[in-house]
Amino acid sequence: MTNVNFDDLPYPHRIVSARRREDMKNEIDTLHADGKLADIVYHSYTRLFDCPMPEGYTESGSLIIAAVPRPQETVGFTWKGTTHWLLLPPTYIRYWEITEQVETLLNQRLKPHGYSATFARVPQKIAAARSGLAQYGRNNIAYVPGCGSFHMLVTYYSDMPYPDDTWQEPGIMPQCQKCSACANACPSKAISHDGFLIQQDRCITLYSGYSGVLDFPDWLDASWIECLIGCMKCQRTCPENRAYVKWIEQNESFSQEETLLLRSGLTENNIPASIHERLDRIGLIRFFGLKKLLEVLSRKLNLLL
Ligand code: SF4
Ligand code: SF4
């Protein structure tokens, strides 16, 4: 328990002891050792799976996990006279801006009590599921009451003690027992019809660039790709997202001339300022890094347009 009042925090959230970082690391290592987490996934997300502890924080503090409801997003690219609004999952656009907004809110509540909070690199889904904030769907996506899977999970280390937490077996959405819609919709057959752990190395999202992996493996059919980044097929098909699936926000758009430049492959040295400014405004440069983002955009625009 804590005497800090988080009741008015506008997002569903949970608090656990910071010693849970060790539990998360162990869980990831066990999944990997048992062959349930592919090498490529284990090594691609090391910076998350290592759960690095920021300076000034210790395991006697806490982890605060929040789910910020977020829409699907689109970015427009004009090609052959038509503007194509290409879809992104509810995570990538303005990721750091939103992460910092939540951090500010937390610090406003913590500071009068002599505590602080800072962003935590941890496996967000495990933190959410083990703290009771989310339940897993068959597609291994975290579902949160009130927003389905349309949210952004963010976790923060705090020096506020929280020794008596609840760290539980991850919940499974009961609705999945009689449903296989996501497994049927998944083009790469990454989702099992009788389990809740997907074959992460067959999930298209892994090959989006963020993890460091950009080259498509031989088995990945380019016609399966629909999103500018990642894949939304299982989430858009899921009946548990029915109430949120039409929540889509339009972002910046790029002219035919700009789209041609992006398709052709711009570099950090020759990107026009106006393109840089708009990619920066929607937070994609900060999320991917400019070099990686330009590689991702060139590849995807050649595929999708
Ligand atoms: S589509 Fe069905 S099985 Fe898949 S996560 Fe949603 S409810 Fe569960
Ligand atoms: S995100 Fe796409 S590829 Fe990954 S499990 Fe869902 S439908 Fe399959």
CA separation, residue 204 to residues 70, 78, 149, 287 (Å): 21, 25, 17, 18
Name the residue type at position 162.
Answer: Y
Ligand 2 atom having least distance to the Cα of 230:
1
The three-point CA angle 34-38-40 to 5° equals 145
| Per-residue pLDDT, 214 | 65
Per-residue pLDDT in tens (0 to 9) along the chain, 305 residues? 667 888 889 999 999 999 999 999 999 999 999 998 888 888 888 877 888 899 999 999 999 999 999 999 999 999 999 999 999 999 999 999 999 999 999 999 999 999 999 999 999 999 999 999 999 999 999 999 999 999 999 999 999 999 889 999 999 999 999 999 999 999 999 999 987 789 988 999 988 777 666 678 899 998 999 999 999 999 999 999 999 999 999 999 999 999 999 999 999 999 999 999 999 999 999 999 999 999 999 999 999 99
First to last CA, the chain: 53
In a domain, 19, yes or no: yes
In a domain, 2, yes or no: no
Ligand 2 atom having least distance to the Cα of 139:
5
| Per-residue pLDDT, 159 | 96
Q: Please indicate whether residue 186, judged by its CB atom, sits closer than 6 Å to ligand 1.
A: no
Q: Are 145 and 11 in contact (CB under 8 A)?
A: no
In a domain, 5, yes or no: no
In a domain, 113, yes or no: yes
In a domain, 81, yes or no: yes
In a domain, 1, yes or no: no
In a domain, 7, yes or no: no
Kindly give the residue spans of alpha helices, DSSP state H, lying in the chain. 20-33, 39-44, 46-49, 95-110, 124-130, 181-185, 233-237, 256-264, 273-281, 284-288, 290-304
Packing angle of the helix pair 256-264, 273-281 (nearest 10 deg): 90
| Per-residue pLDDT, 2 | 67
Range of the domain at 76: 13-162+171-304
In a domain, 4, yes or no: no
CA 246 – ligand 2 centroid, Å:
19
Ligand 1 atom having least distance to the Cα of 139:
5
For ligand 1, atom 7: residue with the closest CA: 176
Nearest ligand for residue 143 CA: 1
* Count of domains forming the chain: 1
Best of 186, 233, 235, 240 for a ligand 1 pocket test (most atoms within 8 Å of beta carbon): 240
